[in-house]
């Protein structure tokens, strides 16, 4: 039973036929200049042709490398103390040309600037190489607002996501396309900025990516803190609060997680089922299980939570 959907028509969990990724692009409205621009860049992200790569790669390197390098420099002006733990667990994978599998990173989400700040801490050899740098998902309504921002974020390897459109939307299809090319995809599975100590429920789009990628990705959980004091929710101005005498930044990468066995068991069990309802229930159970495991793995990286756990245990 085919579980892939990013190349051909497939069925939803309820058995209804859904359009392919290419058909989703063709259905995008193009009545205005903004709509035509958006459809153009999304099509480029989905279907990278050889003729496109000649100009895409240097422009993407300039946008991704330039932005993250700038953010890396600003970190020094923004934070009193920067603590980075075990980032080599990610960079070792990205540097391994013989890896043979894609990479997925998941992290908590404290501010709209988390992505460029986090990856500003990566070494230059990765930041300026778009083949090794992350693809990520970002809210369409916040990022893809006009033809200029369309080009910037598309070249910045940020896939437009529509909140509420579910796990079969075009953004997830593009992410699967990148994973099937052994690329790195980063996801903030909470789905929105959350500055509370407790993580929100992780959404299932990342579960689908892990389950339906041609080769099960290697997953690196990450925890990130410090940006809530720079861009606190509810502040009247969107201008960051730069205070190098007060703010602290903390980034930690966790151990790799391999879901290969769980995915293989899911595929084997799925192949035995006939009823669309049974398949839907199984798919949902596995998505929930993976999302809960990811959430727990990110939560364990929070040093404050670990400290409280140790105090409680004592």
- The tens digit of pLDDT for each residue in 267-304 reads 999 999 999 999 999 999 999 999 999 999 999 999 98
Evaluate whether 179 touches 209 at the Cβ level (below 8 Å): yes
5 pLDDT above the threshold of 50 = no
Can you read off the two tokens belonging to residue 60?
Answer: 């993407």
Taking residues 10-22, what's their average pLDDT?
A: 70
Taking residues 199-226, what's their average pLDDT?
A: 97
11 pLDDT above the threshold of 60 = no
Could you tell me the pLDDT band of residue 182, with boundaries at 50, 70 and 90? very high
Distance CA 117, CA 1 (A): 41
Percentage of residues in the chain having pLDDT higher than 90? 78
CA–CA distance from 306 to each of 71, 102, 297, 310 (Å)?
29, 30, 12, 6
Model pTM score: 0.91
């Amino acid at each position: 039973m085919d579980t892939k959907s990013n190349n051909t028509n497939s069925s939803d969990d309820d058995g209804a036929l859904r359009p392919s990724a290419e058909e989703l692009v063709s259905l995008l409205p193009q009545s205005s200049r903004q709509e035509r621009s958006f459809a153009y860049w999304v099509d480029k992200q989905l279907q990278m042709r050889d003729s496109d790569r000649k100009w895409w790669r240097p422009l993407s390197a300039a946008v991704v490398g330039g932005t993250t390098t700038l953010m890396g420099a600003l970190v020094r002006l923004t934070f009193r103390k920067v603590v980075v733990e075990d980032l080599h667990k990610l960079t070792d994978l990205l540097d391994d040309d013989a890896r043979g599998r894609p990479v997925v990173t998941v992290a908590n989400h404290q501010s709209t600037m988390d992505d460029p700040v986090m990856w500003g801490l990566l070494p230059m050899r990765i930041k300026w190489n778009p083949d090794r740098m992350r693809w990520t998902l970002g809210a369409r309504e916040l990022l893809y607002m006009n033809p200029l921002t369309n080009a910037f974020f598309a070249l910045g390897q940020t896939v437009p996501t529509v909140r509420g459109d579910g796990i079969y939307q075009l953004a997830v299809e593009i992410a699967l396309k990148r994973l099937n090319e052994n690329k790195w995809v980063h996801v903030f599975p909470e789905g929105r900025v959350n500055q509370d100590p407790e993580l929100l429920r992780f959404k299932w789009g990342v579960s689908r990516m892990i389950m339906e990628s041609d080769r099960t990705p290697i997953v690196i959980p990450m925890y990130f803190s410090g940006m809530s004091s720079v861009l606190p929710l509810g502040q009247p101005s969107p201008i960051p609060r730069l205070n190098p005498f007060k703010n602290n930044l903390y980034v930690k990468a966790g151990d790799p997680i391999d879901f290969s066995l769980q995915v293989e068991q899911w595929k084997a069990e799925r192949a035995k089922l006939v009823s669309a309802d049974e398949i839907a229930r199984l798919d949902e159970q596995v998505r929930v299980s993976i999302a809960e495991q990811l959430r727990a793995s990110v939560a364990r990286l929070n040093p404050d939570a670990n400290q409280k756990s140790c105090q409680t245990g004592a």
